[in-house]
Chain A
Amino acid sequence: MERRYSLGNEAIAHAALEAGADLVAGYPGTPSSEVIDILRVQKDRELHVEWSVNEKVAFENALAAAWCGQRALATMKHVGLNVAADPLMTSAYTGVTGGFVIMSADDPFAHSSQNEQDSRCYAKFAQLPCLDPASVQEAHDMLIDAFALSESLGIPVIFRPTTRICHSRSDVTFGPVSSDHRKGEFRRDPRQYVVIPAHTRILHRKLDEKQPLVVKAIADRGYNRAEIRGKTAVVAGGIAAAYVQEYLPPSVSFVKIGAYPIDPSWLKDVIRKHDRVLVFEEGDPIIEEQVLQVAGTVPVRGKKTGSVPLEGEFSPAVVASILAKEGLIPQDAVPVPGKSVPDLPPRPPILCAGCMHRATFHAMKRVFRDGIFPSDIGCYTLGLQLGAVDTTICMGASLTVGSGISHSGEPRDVVCTIGDSTFLHTGIPGLMNAVYNGARMTVVILDNRITAMTGHQPNPGTGETATGEPSPPVSLEAICRACGVTFVETISPHDLPTMLDVMKRAKATDGVKVIIARQTCVITARKAGIRRGVYAVDPEVCTGCETCVKFGCPAIEFRDEKAVITGLCSGCGICAQICPSGAIGKEVKR
């Protein structure tokens, strides 16, 4: 036993080691990424760890290992489970022999996501158990138990931490790392693993027959518990349970929900002991709906009555104000915010100084002045601030949205942007489809050779695996040509004249054109020790026109009517190429 101050995802990663996980596969996505990022740099690793090309690929790799009797973990963010939803639904039918846990990290408030979907809905949809931790320690303990639960029931288990678990820290007790590993052995059984109609109808019935066992197994584990203390009950799930406990008076019953499915007879028994029930849960009203089913005449307050917000994340302040409004705590128990200062300039995240994407967006906007810019998911979504992102919906959708716009009869140029990792994730089918069906558009692959936004994970283009072994880097050019694209040009975004020239040629060419804008991510370049020298503004020559300031590089400030380049400069040199008066040059070492 060891006590550590640990990040939620670090505790989850360690729990996987304690459980003796044999295979861990995932695709990076905030807030889930650190689990594999921690495991992949472990020394003396006894398990297979991989960054897969996408979540469906990760899921199926892990599922197969569990079919071979191993303990397997697939990690992803909530929207990643959409990509893996196809195997998810049927894996509930086939079941597993080894323990299979799917970590789907939810992001209430969409801190860094395209939506606020609730993974508990998938658990219900697929008829699988779901564990929903309320603290870092509980996340650690639940993940270990999730493997055992999966093995005992013979079905996958969904583990659903939220951002405030994954990215919070706490004192945590860790157990010893297990050296007990299983060697995979595939036992041929077509009736389980070949889901032709004749087999799958039977498998469906078996899954249904298993449900009472699932309910009992969850009930036996005690993740759902009630402290009956009065005639009013507060029911809370996930981290909302922790917030509620900060304020709940001793005369109000507290019902904590940490796992699904909830035993309906237990819940009915608990709820019917009360005159009034209030339900707190982030995400969808899943607990609330189940409480309503058993409540009879007991009034239930929650999202459906408008007492609790449907959207966003909770906080102690939100929970306290609702408890006061519902009359459960006095108004003066609610913390009062101090005075705030209005109208402050915001400080959103922006592309790094010297980021290749900024230069590429600049060239795009110059050549395709009235173009339409479907984009995708990655650092480059920050190009929104530069007016270079018109659509973002999900991974890979820049290409498909682009071809759809082109087929709609919209006459303007369509220029899609997509990162290298996103292109490999789900972009390729969209490109193939666009060529096959005769779309007219330009595709700019922003190839910085890394999955940057989520913390610089390698991908098949990088040339190494998650654990650092060399791998053959895939050729984006060859993939594009194989999809039928004839205009495939690779350029460096640091060479503005060439980039402008290639884009002009693409604009003048019909069909689907691909431009691969390739440059190492500035962060990986810096870590690799690449120094390009820095640039400076000659104040005598600077006219204060602000062309470079509007470029939006964080290394460029504007003071006393002149541009100034700060210590953030990483030497990309684009500002020197766009300055109309030639005032910017490489700084001479003094």
Chain B
Amino acid sequence: MLVNADIYVKDVPGQLVAALDPMSVLNANIIGVVHSREQVISGRIAVNLTFDIDPERIDKLKEIWKEKDVIVVRIDSAIDLRSIVFMIIGDINAVTIEELMIAATEKVDIQSKNIRIYSNSSGRNTCMISISVKTQEELDALDDFISKGCEERGYTYIRGVE
């Protein structure tokens, strides 16, 4: 499980290493450490950590940190969102695109979306959509769904390259 945490450690030498040590003991894979020296509060420095850990070991980690006088401000799962940007061209409008998006929402768990529609006097309108989902599988399912949806409706679907 990918986790992101904000912690505060004492602004004295060796404290950051002391906070990171238990992570290797618990087999956590440290992905990022952001050490903010400008954020010193009551003699403590803010550190943001991103790491991969077995969810069952998170309580143990918090327990060890507490023993080492590390203050945990926030700890939660960091979801690595996958995004897709694509265009749809055809006899489309806000309603038809919204209907397609509602149908897509029933297939995958959409985290965020941004839609822009441009009208054209010829009736062939262009829509650019960016969508974020949680997993590659959801991204593939979304791609497949939009592709088939566009084919059925006679729209042109333009997606990116991997």
Task: Judge: A and B partners, yes or no.
Answer: no
- Measured CB to CB, the residues of A under 8 A from B are none
